[in-house]
């Protein structure tokens, strides 16, 4: 009886009911996940009705199912994109061979590490965002926050499914450990740097969903090329949800920019702080911070790990098949930048070890597109200010730039200049205190906080003033 009930609560397209060993593993894990969700998930809103989209199958109709739901009742399911009959491995030493339905023994450890690293980010982001509901700028934004949180929970389920289904006892241990690490905890932190940073306010949150979720897009797309077919199919479906997260980031930042420009024009001043806005200079500093910690997530410019992932057919390039080359890259080179003397130089490195940098290049080009749209909002108001992406070497903690201080405009600077100008480049305590001072909850239908413009349209054709989260 418990089994049948449980099955109903895990929508899936992996024939869970026919795999008793896996079912048992997930049955054991599920209450621990729920405990984690209640302890570390959105604080103060678990009993509220939220207008959520739930994935109940991978086809178009099943995927976009909207309705009111309390978050703990969200149907966290397991969905893989439909199999591609006859799919081949597209790159590396196994290029041309059939994709693997099971984990190849010799790559087991590496693959597990990749899946664990990916999986760890998902609960981490929920933990980082758990206090934000208390200061939401509108019901519309509150609902989007919760939509993202439950989907990150589902993405954790996706990785736990892979670990439990394909990695035996080690996999189950890793699944447990996912619920034990905590974002920002000194003793048991999350694996990657950006996921131990705080997301203390909504500007940080929009920047995070623009820049850090976009790392998710590029990493998932690379794993979606994997020769390990279940991983590829899982990531392909996760990518469909990721698009909404980046939409929230891009439009969120865009709406803050819009509101700031309106306040600047209305009051004929750059200093919109006293009018309840966030000045563009502060926004640039937040952008600098979130871009730099997200750029770190691509790893070192020169990485034998990355070369090994590729050669072994585990992690491809972004849109691997768009390349016209041999997809093995043994003789190719790629341009990588680094510091030489007191300047930044570019040099050619073996393309295999430069794969992290190539992915970072794809990512940065994509980041630039949104920044260009934000710039247009400012220009449309006739305001002379340009938001820019800082240089990739700015404020790095991982890779070739980590040992150096680089200014946002790409100069290697000495410690004295860094110390003197840090407050121009990164948010100061005073900036953070100002942003924090604006974070008052706005929970009346159709109302928005002073520092952000309303969206152009609502969710799923609902009006902007829809009751996206019902009052208690
Ligand atoms: N912080 O050769 P290296 C998402 C470690 S976001 C701390 O330079 P490699 C999401 C590295 O682990 C996407 N440690 O790099 C977004 C290695 O340690 P080991 C997440 C770091 O291995 C928003 C050592 O340094 N998915 O989904 O080529 C909300 C040397 O590594 C960092 C993935 O990342 C760092 N930033 O590449 C929710 C995909 N960077 O192994 C979700 C899976 C490096 O020597 N992960 N290190 O002990 C990977 O593909 C790779 O692990 C990385 C690193 C790209 C992260």
What digits encode the pLDDT tens for the residues 185-227?
A: 999 999 999 999 999 999 999 999 999 999 999 999 999 999 9
Q: Measured from the CA of 152, which atom of ligand 1 is nearest?
A: 38
Q: What is the structure's pLDDT at 472?
A: 76
149 CB under 6 A from ligand 1?
no
Q: Whose CA is nearest to atom 26 of ligand 1?
A: 118
Quote the ligand 1 centre to 399 CA distance (angstroms). 11
Q: Residue 45 pLDDT more than 50?
A: yes
298 CB under 6 A from ligand 1?
yes
Greatest alpha-carbon span in the chain: 70
Q: Which residues fall within 8 angstroms of residue 412, CB to CB, at 6 or more apart?
A: 339, 342, 343, 344, 393, 404, 405, 406
Q: Residue 1 pLDDT more than 50?
A: no
Q: Measured from the CA of 209, which atom of ligand 1 is nearest?
A: 23
Q: If you write DSSP's letter for every residue of 343-384 in order, what string do you get?
A: EEEEEEEETTTTHHHHHHHHHHHHHHHHHHHHHHHHHHTT--
Q: What is the DSSP letter of 228?
A: B
Q: Residue 94 pLDDT more than 70?
A: yes
300 CB under 6 A from ligand 1?
yes
For residues 120 and 180, the answer to whether their CB atoms sit within 8 Å is no
90 CB under 6 A from ligand 1?
no
Quote the ligand 1 centre to 329 CA distance (angstroms). 22
Give the tens place of pLDDT for each residue, 290-348.
999 999 999 999 999 999 999 999 999 999 999 999 999 999 999 999 999 999 999 99
193 CB under 6 A from ligand 1?
yes
- Give the residue-averaged pLDDT of 6-15: 72
Which one, of 432, 409, 425, 147, lies nearest residue 278 by Cα? 432
Tokens in use for 207?
């920047």
Quote the ligand 1 centre to 299 CA distance (angstroms). 6
For residues 408 and 388, the answer to whether their CB atoms sit within 8 Å is yes
Q: What is the structure's pLDDT at 71?
A: 97
Quote the ligand 1 centre to 221 CA distance (angstroms). 15
Question: Pocket of ligand 1, candidates 305, 312, 356: which has the most ligand atoms within 8 Å of its Cβ, to mutate?
Answer: 305
Residue 413: which H helix or E strand, with range? strand 412-413
Q: Whose CA is nearest to atom 5 of ligand 1?
A: 299
Q: If you write DSSP's letter for every residue of 9-47 in order, what string do you get?
A: HS-BSS-GGG-HHHHHHHHHHHHHHHHHHHHHSSTT-TT
Which one, of 118, 248, 255, lies nearest residue 195 by Cα? 118
Q: Measured from the CA of 300, which atom of ligand 1 is nearest?
A: 8
Quote the ligand 1 centre to 41 CA distance (angstroms). 24
30 CB under 6 A from ligand 1?
no
CA–centroid distance for 272 within its chain? 30
Give the tens place of pLDDT for each residue, 47-78.
999 999 987 666 666 667 899 999 999 988 88
For residues 349 and 300, the answer to whether their CB atoms sit within 8 Å is no
Quote the ligand 1 centre to 126 CA distance (angstroms). 18
Q: What is the pTM of this model?
A: 0.96
Q: Measured from the CA of 355, which atom of ligand 1 is nearest?
A: 28
Q: Whose CA is nearest to atom 40 of ligand 1?
A: 299
For residues 213 and 244, the answer to whether their CB atoms sit within 8 Å is no
Q: Which residues fall within 8 angstroms of residue 218, CB to CB, at 6 or more apart?
A: 298, 318, 359, 362, 363, 366
Q: What is the structure's pLDDT at 240?
A: 87
Quote the ligand 1 centre to 466 CA distance (angstroms). 40
Q: Residue 373 pLDDT more than 70?
A: yes
Q: What is the DSSP letter of 100?
A: B
299 CB under 6 A from ligand 1?
yes
For residues 424 and 441, the answer to whether their CB atoms sit within 8 Å is no
Distance CA(133)–CA(45), nearest Å, equals 7
Please classify residue 467 by burial: count the beta carbons closer than 10 Å to its beta carbon, then call 0-12 exposed, 13-18 middle and 19+ buried. Answer: middle
In angstroms, the first-to-last Cα distance of the chain is 33
Which one, of 123, 145, 130, lies nearest residue 42 by Cα? 130
Quote the ligand 1 centre to 223 CA distance (angstroms). 13
């Amino acid at each position: 009886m418990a089994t049948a009930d449980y099955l109903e609560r895990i929508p899936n397209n992996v024939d869970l009911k026919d795999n008793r060993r896996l079912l048992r593993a997930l049955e054991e894990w599920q209450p621990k996940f729920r405990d984690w969700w209640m302890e570390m998930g959105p604080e103060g809103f678990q009993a509220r009705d939220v207008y959520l989209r739930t994935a109940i199958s991978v086809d178009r109709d099943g995927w976009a199912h909207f309705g009111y739901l309390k978050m703990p009742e969200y149907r966290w399911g397991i969905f893989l994109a439909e199999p591609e009959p006859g799919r081949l491995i597209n790159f590396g030493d196994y290029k041309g061979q059939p994709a693997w339905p099971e984990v190849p023994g010799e790559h087991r450890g590496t693959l597990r590490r990749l899946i664990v690293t990916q999986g760890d980010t998902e609960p981490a982001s929920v933990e980082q965002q758990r206090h934000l509901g208390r200061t939401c700028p509108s019901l519309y934004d509150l609902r989007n926050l919760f939509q993202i949180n439950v989907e990150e929970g589902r993405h954790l389920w996706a990785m736990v499914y892979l670990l439990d289904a394909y990695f035996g006892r080690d996999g189950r241990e890793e699944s447990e450990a996912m619920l034990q690490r905590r974002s920002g905890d000194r003793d048991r932190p999350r694996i990657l740097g950006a996921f131990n940073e705080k997301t203390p306010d909504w500007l940080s949150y929009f920047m995070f969903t623009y820049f850090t979720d976009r790392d998710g897009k590029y990493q998932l797309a690379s794993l979606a090329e994997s020769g390990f077919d279940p991983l590829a199919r899982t990531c392909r479906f996760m990518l469909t949800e990721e698009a909404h997260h980046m939409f929230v980031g891009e439009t969120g930042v865009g709406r803050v920019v819009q509101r700031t420009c309106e306040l600047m024009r209305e009051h004929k001043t750059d200093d919109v702080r006293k009018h309840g806005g966030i000045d563009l200079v502060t926004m640039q500093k937040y952008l600098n911070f979130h871009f730099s910690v997200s750029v770190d997530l691509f790893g070192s410019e020169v990485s034998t790990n990355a070369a090994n992932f590729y050669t072994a057919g585990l992690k491809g390039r972004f849109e691997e098949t768009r390349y016209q080359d041999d997809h093995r890259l043994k003789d190719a080179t790629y341009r990588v930048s680094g510091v030489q003397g007191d300047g930044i130089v570019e040099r050619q490195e073996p393309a295999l070890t430069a794969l992290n940098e190539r992915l970072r290049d794809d990512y940065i080009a994509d980041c630039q597109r949104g920044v260009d749209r934000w710039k247009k909002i400012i220009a449309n108001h006739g305001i002379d200010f340009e938001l820019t992406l800082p240089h990739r070497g700015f404020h790095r903690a991982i890779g070739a730039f980590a040992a150096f201080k680089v200014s946002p405009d790409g100069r290697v600077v000495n410690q004295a200049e860094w110390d003197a100008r840090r407050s121009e480049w990164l948010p100061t305590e005073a900036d953070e205190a100002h942003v924090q001072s604006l974070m008052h909850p706005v929970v009346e239908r159709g109302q928005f906080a002073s520092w952000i413009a309303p969206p152009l349209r609502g969710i799923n054709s609902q009006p902007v003033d829809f009751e996206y989260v019902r009052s208690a």
